[in-house]
Chain A
Amino acid sequence: MSTWRQEWYLLIRDRGAVVVLLAWCLLLIYAGAIGFSSVQALRADQAQFVKSESARSERGRGRIQAIEAGTAEADPYVGFPSMQRSPVNMGIPTLAALDVGIFDRSNTMLRISLFSGPAQAGKGRELQSPLLLTAGRFDLGFVAIVLLPLALMALLYAQPGADREAGRFPLLAAQRALPEVYRRRHALRLLALLLPLIVVSAVTVAAVDGSTDWLSWLLWLLPLLAWAALWSGACAWLVSRTGSAGGALAWLVALWVALLWVIPAVLDSAVERIAPTPSALALLSSERRAAQEAQVRRTELFGNYVSDHPELSINTEADALAWTRSYYVQQRFIADAMEQPRIAAAAQRQAQQRWRQRLSWLSPTQALSANSEGMAGSDQTALDQFLQSAEAHKQRWDEALFRSLLAGQGLSVAEFDRLPAYSAPDPKGDAMNALGLLIQLSLLAGLLWYGARWRVLAG
């Protein structure tokens, strides 16, 4: 029997290891199912949204036709087009099944209209379960980042501590070169954990969408494999220097707590102090303040203008076109005023993001989590891209509608059919970041493996 086959045989005969592997596979399958159902549910929700908006749009088109035919009257205020809404969907990437990221918390469906831009049109995700939001999704990203190191520890912490404590060392030493035996054992057990992860993640992605971008999947997976290699290196390094299995386990758990809990908490707290970002409420308040100031300024300007030029004054209550023009100017005033606090908030967020990137080498867990969400297209960057493109669409939509309104006309069917349709950006994760992380974690893993001197075997 070859040595590798013998190790497989020993693994299968190790009841504790088999239990860990079975539990690992079950957790992976459950996490895959959670990710699959989450993406399907979000997509079904979006499909329902598109369907209802299409029906609404079709009714609107029918009404415009009726207005053109003279069988219906236009809206007396700003004309019929003001009631039009443009559905804006973020699109749920297939790889979000691997890491649901912020999709439980963010609005991915917006109804853009003259009256509401992306910032105002989001409504509904607040109805998500508060329990789920505090606990978090049990997705493959969570399993791979948080649970994989624990599963590895369970399989490796007693190799070779258990043999030493059971007095099997002399026998093993007499038969084989011990360091090779344990290196092989560690490598094989690592492989036994990684194979199910690779298979389940690939099956999950294929089940959501067979024609997915497999390169992105690979870039999602590779840093996680390096993460596993890093932990196997840490296990090798620690167990090869610690006499007892219990001592090695205590050290490994302490390392897990430090890497996954203490360091992220300290870094988060430090980054928040160094580069604070406004809360949503603070941003909303500053936007509202700016909008109110703009409205007051516009009213003053308008009042001055009318008192200076009474011959040009208009009655916006009686004249629909005048109301529309006045409204257009007011909208521009408000939009311009609200841009300043938004730019300031975005700059603050970017500054915090830069700090996070600068310090990411201190916290591989957070870097890995960010990469997992980034490659899955379910992170804040993807959401920001979506909101920016929605804002740009809102500008195009406004221009298209106001063109006819400002000319004193209702919207014709031909113009209605030419209204810009929204096309969602295709979020692409940062491949260089994924590769950088892969190299960083692999180097660290290599160093740890290299540093494992298996001193304990000498005794």
Chain B
Amino acid sequence: MEAHYQNPAALRPIESAAGEVLPQSAAALLQWGLPLLLIVAGAGLWAAERESQRLPLQWVQGASAGALLLGKALMLVLLAVLLILPLTLLAAMADPARAAWLALTYGLYALIWIALTLTLSLLSRNARTALAGLLGLWLLATIIGPRLATNAAVQLAPLPSPEAFWAEVRVSQSQGIDGHSSGDQRRTELLQRTLAEYGVSKEEDLPISFAGIAMQAGEEHANTVYDHHYGEYWVQIAAQDGWRLAWAPISPLLAVDQLSQWAAGSDWRNHRHFTDRAEAHRRELQRFLNADFTENAKGQDFAYQAEPALWAKAPRWDYQPAAAGDLSRPGGALAVLLGWLGAAAIMLGFAYQRAQHEVLP
């Protein structure tokens, strides 16, 4: 942080990503590994039995199609729980509310994949077709889709290049956001207003330091400039997020990723929470210092040096990260996930009906 400038928060060091071909995290394990595990375990559950002609034997013994399907689904649920539960418990040790949201997100995600796996297993003629179809779906939904959607979203809602961003900030600072009020003009108007307020005709007659007032006015002006340009930046980030979610019909992972990052407190909304608080702190500190300068620097101006007591009274940075309920929930992502679950359940129901017709005499 520095005076006069609102700098963007620095990114994590780039060396941390060295050699990383695909994301490596607990979230990646759940987002990619969990569906893969369910597919490998579940693709042949029904299709292989059909292929090996074991289904009729089971009807003869009195097993109903519904009970068989429920048993297979419960086995897959158990498998998903085995993977999700330890990670959720670990998260719960840090923050139970966030852990609950993570459990809900990945629970829904697992249910979607269980339904899809069973649907394809029910519909496929043999285990190979089911496995190939599911792996194709997995590839599209987890590897290709998210990266494709993100790159497309970035092109649909582009951010200004850093050079263009700072060039626009500089222009707005020197000419005003409307482009018609130069710094000199603003200073002259401020001086006239201050002189009128104190009932004097010259700057030297003011009982306070006009430089302090001018500096704070400059800060206020810069604040409006930063609010304007950073505001546009955040609007574009939100638009990118929205465009990315618009691709969710090809992959539930896009919605899961958004919810997971939000629940973990590591998404752009949480990042913005931090940067907004940091900027508010910077502005408060600037106001505090400029007020002291205005009051005490009369006659000394920039030779003025504050006493240590001033620094003892200076506002302190005391940041508390947003709690899970503080920031608006990505409701769109949750709706998409529920939509996926509904669609997968309907497809499973349809596949189950077909399977029943197939086996019943």
Q: Which residues of A contact B (CB under 8 A)?
A: 27, 30, 34, 37, 41, 44-46, 48-49, 52, 102, 105-106, 109, 123-138, 142, 145-147, 150, 154, 157-158, 161-162, 165, 244-246, 249-250, 253, 257, 260-261, 264-265, 267-268, 277, 279-281, 283, 317, 349, 352, 356, 365-366, 369-370, 380
Contact = CB atoms under 8 A, between A and B. Distances in A.
Interface string B96-125: 000000000000000000000000000000
B161 A44 contact: yes
A351 to B, nearest CB: 12
Interface stretch (B11-19, B217-225, B292-300): B11-19
A63 to B, nearest CB: 17
Interface in B37-85: 40, 43-44
Given A124-B163, A124-B165, A131-B244, A249 B20 contact: no
B198 interface: no
A105 B20 CA distance: 14
Given A127-B162, A279-B13, 9 more contacts: A34-B151, A125-B162, A127-B233, A131-B241, A133-B11, A136-B147, A146-B143, A264-B22, A281-B13
B146 A280 contact: no
A130 B44 contact: no
Nearest to B146: A135
B36 A150 contact: no
Contacts of A277: 15
Interface of B: 7-24, 28, 32-33, 36, 40, 43-44, 126-128, 131-132, 135-136, 139, 143-144, 146-148, 150-151, 153-155, 159-167, 233, 237, 240-241, 244, 268, 271, 303
Contact of B7 (A123, A129, A380): A123
B19 A264 contact: yes
Given A41-B161, A127-B165, A137-B151, A253 B24 contact: no
A139 B136 CA distance: 21
A129 B23 contact: no
Nearest to A48: B163
B236 to A, nearest CB: 8
Contacts of B11: 105, 125-126, 128, 133
A129 B240 contact: yes
Contacts of B127: 246
A147 B9 CA distance: 34
Nearest to A278: B13
Contacts of B132: 154, 157-158, 245-246, 249
B128 A245 contact: yes
B117 to A, nearest CB: 14
B167 A365 contact: no
A365 to B, nearest CB: 5
30 contacts: A27-B144, A48-B163, A123-B7, A123-B166, A124-B165, A125-B11, A127-B159, A128-B162, A129-B237, A129-B240, A132-B154, A135-B150, A136-B147, A137-B151, A142-B147, A146-B21, A146-B22, A154-B136, A246-B44, A249-B131, A261-B22, A261-B24, A261-B32, A264-B24, A265-B24, A267-B19, A280-B15, A283-B13, A349-B15, A366-B19
Contact of A45 (B126, B151, B161): B161
A392 to B, nearest CB: 22
Given A123-B166, A127-B165, A264-B22, A249 B159 contact: no
Contacts of A132: 150-151, 154
Given A127-B165, A147-B143, A158-B128, A279 B12 contact: yes
Given A129-B154, A142-B147, A261-B32, A380 B18 contact: yes
Contacts of B151: 34, 132, 135, 137-138
Nearest to B15: A277
